[in-house]
Amino acid sequence: MLVATTLQLAHGEVAKVLETHSMYKRDPWRRWVRTLTFIQLTVQANSAQRSQIVAWLNRLHANIRLFEFETNVFVLATIAYGLAQSHQALGAFPTGEKDAIVSSVMSMADKLSADDRRKPVPTTFSAVEKFLAPQLSSVHLRSILASMSALLDLAQKPRFSTALRRPWSWAKFLLLRTLARDISLRVLSPPTAGEPPGALLSLARIFQPFWYHFHYSACPRVLTLAGLFETLVGCDPSLNTVVDDVHREIFGAPPVGKFAPSEAHLPQLPNGVAGAAPAADLTNQSFIAAVREHLKCAYLRTRLAGPGKQLPRHLGVIMDGNRRFSRQHGLGSVLEGHRLGARRLLQFMTWSFSVGIDHLTVWALSDDNLKRGHEELDPLFAMMADFTREIVMGDAPLAVIDVRIRVVGDRSILPAALNDAIDAIEEATKGEKKLNLQFALGYGGRREVLRAVKAAVQARAHEDSSTIEEALSRLSPGDVSKHTYSAESGVPPMDAILRTSGEKRLSGFALWESQECELSFVAPNWPGMSQSDFLSCLVDLAERKRRFGA
């Protein structure tokens, strides 16, 4: 954030607006907390909520030409540049992650106004760096560094009474300020070869891998968005009201429940309240539990990175236990369990491609599930349609990147609105390559085998110009394998299947492909599954010696 702000202050027009309109001069931290709150709400909002946010921005800046598309691109480019470079300065940075972070941030550029849809923006790190080159040149570097120093000076004014009452908060703040300065100098003024990074930055680098978690927790907690909120509010209790004030300005009411910045990377599903933890939000952890989880994940990722480990190329997942989770936690509605399950799927996808799994097939709805009553199925179908539109298709600002979505199963038994959403998502993601994700909807293993056999017989009869009876006599297992859903989607057959909720059966999932699959069963219900549960399964699967029936 400090890198982004200093780059913005080096831009004449943007600097003029920031210096004259914002609270930087009289209360910089309140201004930054308001900005952070806006970012949180925008990230979490669905389409309807984002329209309210845009209307609020337009009211707030009615006389300021700041929120034009070109300026939005510049501001987001500074954020993307600072975020990517800062993460690299902290070390333990996956190959290609710079482009992923830049693409994620820049995807917001055309979403504040419908008129800006599909306008070109820089979406790779090299493109952003080239775009910002005038501000990053040696001519501007001096003014940029001076702006950064000025911002840090503004943040130095101590509130002694608060510091005495909350010494730990102020200690964290001073560490944060020093580390932010070290990182910013390293980003804005790259060191010469062999120059040591400095004691605090070196220490952060040492511990950073323990906190690394794909994208948002890529640095110690105090540097995450959640940690920044906690530190700033701890230093100045008067900032406690900022979140409520911004939420009230936009939506007309304060957030319901505790504001949950730790979940910022999970956009709200429709009917949720942006910026507020849903009534069923049981994902928050205590600080000690979060530390324990991070350390477990760090250890398990180290195990996965060891020699001789073979991860599944194509993982099948039976997402079982949403309804049981709802009942066990008294959520009032099974749909709340499904909502939390949808949020867990977003996390699961990032866990999967962060370790190198290329193909996922997740069983979301069986053909037997369709025997449930309309009072449960109709809201579930509506939620699935909203899920694809709001989150996976990229209507949310931080959508999952480079994921190709396909739906397998008997779509004739699904409602028309859901099929329309499926058609749209398959078309929108057909060019993506980072992860192949198949949703099994209206899926049954017997139906798949029967369908594959019929298709194989017809194909054999056509190829040989033979009768159906003759084609049947020459039918082989290989012929049937060519017509499974995976084969027709162009992905390899499943080599492992994971099921949650403690049930130790496949229930007909992937009947044909599961013959040589490795199986893993975990006790938590799907919404309650943690990343360490997932990584433990992967370690177990990767260390098995597959014999393929021999």
- Which amino acid appears at position 342 of this protein? A
Residues 293, 262: Cα–Cα separation, whole Å: 14
Q: How far is CA 528 from the centre of its chain?
A: 17
- 439 token code pair: 């949703």
Active site (annotated) includes residue 320 = yes
Q: Can you tell me whether residue 10 is helix, strand or coil?
A: coil
Instruction: Give the strand order in the sheet containing 435-443.
Output: 403-408, 435-443, 359-366, 314-318, 496-499, 518-521
**DSSP H helices in 22-68:** 28-44, 47-60
Q: DSSP assignment of 70-118, as one string?
A: HHHHHHHHHHHHHHHHHHHHHS-PPTTHHHHHHHHHHTTTTSS-GGGTT
Residues 344, 529: Cα–Cα separation, whole Å: 8
- Which amino acid appears at position 180 of this protein? A
Active-site option among 245, 369, 402, 419: 369
Please state the three-class secondary structure of 482-547 as a single string.
Answer: CCCHHHHHCCCCCCEEEECCCCCCCCCCCCCHHHHCEEEECCCCHHHCCHHHHHHHHHHHHCCCCC
DSSP state of 429: T
Residues 6+ apart with CB under 8 A from 452: 480, 481, 483, 484, 512
Residues 59, 328: Cα–Cα separation, whole Å: 45
Residues 179, 206: Cα–Cα separation, whole Å: 14
Active site (annotated) includes residue 369 = yes
- Which amino acid appears at position 51 of this protein? S
Active-site option among 99, 281, 320, 367: 320
Best CA proximity match to 530, nearest among 123, 70, 213, 280:
213
The DSSP bridge partners found for residue 437 are: 360, 405
Residue listed under structure tokens 């930055």: 201
Residues 275, 42: Cα–Cα separation, whole Å: 9
Q: DSSP assignment of 387-422, as one string?
A: HIIIIITS-STTPPPSEEEEEES-GGGS-HHHHHHH
Greatest Cα-to-Cα distance within the chain, rounded to the nearest angstrom: 91
Residues 517, 496: Cα–Cα separation, whole Å: 5
Residues 498, 520: Cα–Cα separation, whole Å: 5
**DSSP H helices in 430-484:** 445-464, 468-473, 477-481
| Active site members | 320, 369
